[in-house]
Structure 1
Amino acid sequence: MDILLIIVMLVLGLVGSFFSGLLGIGGAIVSFPLLLFVPSALGVAHFTGQEVSSISMFQVFFASLAGVMAYLKNGKNQPAVIHKKLVVYMGSGILFGSLAGGLVSGYLDGNVINIIYGVLAIIAVVLMLIPSKAKEDGLAGQEITFNRTFAVVISFLVGIVSGIVGAGGAFILIPVMLTVLKIPTRITIATSLAIVFISAIGGVAGKLTTADIPWEATLFTVIGSLIGAPLGSWLSAKMNVKYLRYALIILIALTAVKVWMSIL
């Protein structure tokens, strides 16, 4: 394997997973276009969309796992914490929902899937712009109250849509947790990463049944992910919550623009 390709894949894995740990997303929003265009532009590799999808799914899996481990390692003295009950309820909902969405996607036209993705991205931006009534900072041991039935139902619906469009679902899950469930920003970011990890388990299992996995490129992307995600998680715990929220809004807005440009 060419040394330049190894370096490129390490860097791309690091960049995508850094944003994963920083903002509580799976990282595919960042890594997918990078993996698709950067290696080709540099002339080191030409991955197909299917191959990029496979690399990205493994990157999301290991980046979210590394990010979760970093948050757990922070301990109770750190402001960014994972809410275990939210992970159990919303994680189970999004897992079953994504499996159902994956089955439904096979019967939908590609343009319909893109439109669904685009509409959801706009809804996510609108939700992020609505002022949250929840406390911005969440501390370890802080009691968080939420409607368990609603949390399961909404995460199941998000899972269906994420399964249809082939995304982790964090771009819509995070605004729902912040605005609808009124979960504090720091707890939302840390917890959503754990939920994305659960969602990615099914995605990786599905990819393993296909032959479109460039294993060497995937390996070095994953290695980069294991470095970048803990760095992003560490910085997220240090950053002002206001700036984290702005960063989320910008990232989700860019996603909406990208999707609608491809549709129109």
Structure 2
Amino acid sequence: MEILGYAASVFIGILLGLIGGGGSILTVPVLVYLLGVDAFLATEYSLFIVGISSLAGSFSYFKKGLVNFKTAVIFGIPSVVSIFLTRHYLLPLIPDEVFRINSLTVTVTKDIVLLLVFAGLMVVSSYKMIRKSVEPVTGTVRSEKNNTILAAGQGCMVGMLTGLVGAGGGFMIIPALVGLLKTPMKVAVGTSLVIIAVNSLIGFFSSIDHVKIQWNVLGPVSAMAVVGIVIGSQLSDKINGAKLKPAFGWFILVMGIYIIIRELFL
């Protein structure tokens, strides 16, 4: 199982490097089902794995001039604030035992709730990956100021999801960068990696004092993800990541449904 977990970590990195998101949605399931990490701790580990691998991948895009730091700030600051509030105030509100049905001897724990939320996120992200991408219309209906405000609002939503379940949120970031801020696709991928890196690492280090980190697990998985994202960033010049999205979307959909069935019925 550990070997499968490390191999999956490389795959996660490659996807992040190719399409600027999506791969991180697999991090928590890999940690939980292949490496035996409990769900709450997996969300914390995921922040570091996604953050450090995205940081490594962003260097390649930065050297090619494919990172827009102004856009990263517009999107990133609301995300960071939202992550901090979610990790420190929302997550602690979820009790270890959410509810129990005595007649059915069913107990729904915090871990199950987090995995179900994560599975729901996977289903939503799969839809966004499967559906045909629509190029932004050149004649904008909204003003640039309104688009900036909408992008900042999207950043808040991404931050909440990142803080809650440890996903990078690239599947939400890239459509916002392309559709609202009119960022070219390649630049959107590079900028997305910067935003994901900053969000995830700040989220990780802001709550590290509340969990016990097993670096013997986290270190090797992170290293494999970094190797993967370096490979993915190099392949991005030769492979059109957008063409991979629908196939990966179907895979994510199956995984999300599997998690829901496993946690509710098995």
Q: Who is 1:16 aligned against?
A: 12
Q: Does 1:67 align with 2:57?
A: yes
Question: Does the C-alpha gap of structure 1 residues 159 and 263 become closer, same or farther in structure 2, counting only changes over 3 Å?
Answer: farther
Deviation at 1:20, TM superposition (A): 2.0
Deviation at 1:64, TM superposition (A): 0.7
- Check whether the contact 1:28–1:168 (CA below 8 A) recurs between aligned residues: yes
Q: Does 1:38 align with 2:24?
A: no
Question: Does the C-alpha gap of structure 1 residues 174 and 254 become closer, same or farther in structure 2, counting only changes over 3 Å?
Answer: farther
Q: CA RMSD in A?
A: 3.4
Write out aligned runs for 1:205-224 (5 A): 205-224=205-224
Question: Does the C-alpha gap of structure 1 residues 122 and 218 become closer, same or farther in structure 2, counting only changes over 3 Å?
Answer: closer
User: Quick one: which of 64, 87, 92 aligns to 1:106?
Assistant: 92
Alignment TM-score, normalising by the size of structure 2 = 0.72
Deviation at 1:182, TM superposition (A): 5.1
- Check whether the contact 2:25–2:122 (CA below 8 A) recurs between aligned residues: no
Q: Who is 2:235 aligned against?
A: 235
Question: Does the C-alpha gap of structure 1 residues 105 and 87 become closer, same or farther in structure 2, counting only changes over 3 Å?
Answer: same
Gaps spanning 5+ residues in structure 1: where?
Answer: 40-45, 136-144
Write out aligned runs for 1:1-264 (5 A): 11-25=7-21, 27-39=23-35, 46-73=36-63, 75-76=64-65, 81-102=66-87, 103-108=89-94, 110=110, 117=118, 121-128=122-129, 129=131, 131-134=133-136, 147-179=147-179, 181=181, 183-240=183-240, 242-247=242-247, 249-250=249-250, 252-254=252-254, 256-258=256-258, 260-261=260-261, 262=263
Question: Does the C-alpha gap of structure 1 residues 157 and 15 become closer, same or farther in structure 2, counting only changes over 3 Å?
Answer: closer
Q: Which string of whole-angstrom CA distances, capped at 9 and with x for unpartnered residues, describes residues 92-131 of structure 1? A: 1211122222322333555776666555555544545254
Aligned residues: 240
Percent of aligned pairs with the same amino acid: 24
- Check whether the contact 2:16–2:23 (CA below 8 A) recurs between aligned residues: yes
Deviation at 1:66, TM superposition (A): 0.6
Q: Which string of whole-angstrom CA distances, capped at 9 and with x for unpartnered residues, describes residues 141-171 of structure 1? A: xxxx782222112211332243234432223
Question: Does the C-alpha gap of structure 1 residues 107 and 126 become closer, same or farther in structure 2, counting only changes over 3 Å?
Answer: same
Q: Who is 1:43 aligned against?
A: none
In 1: Cα distance, 2:47 partner to 2:29 partner: 13
Deviation at 1:199, TM superposition (A): 0.8
In 1: Cα distance, 2:176 partner to 2:214 partner: 35
Residue range with higher mean Cα deviation, 59-68 or 118-127: 118-127
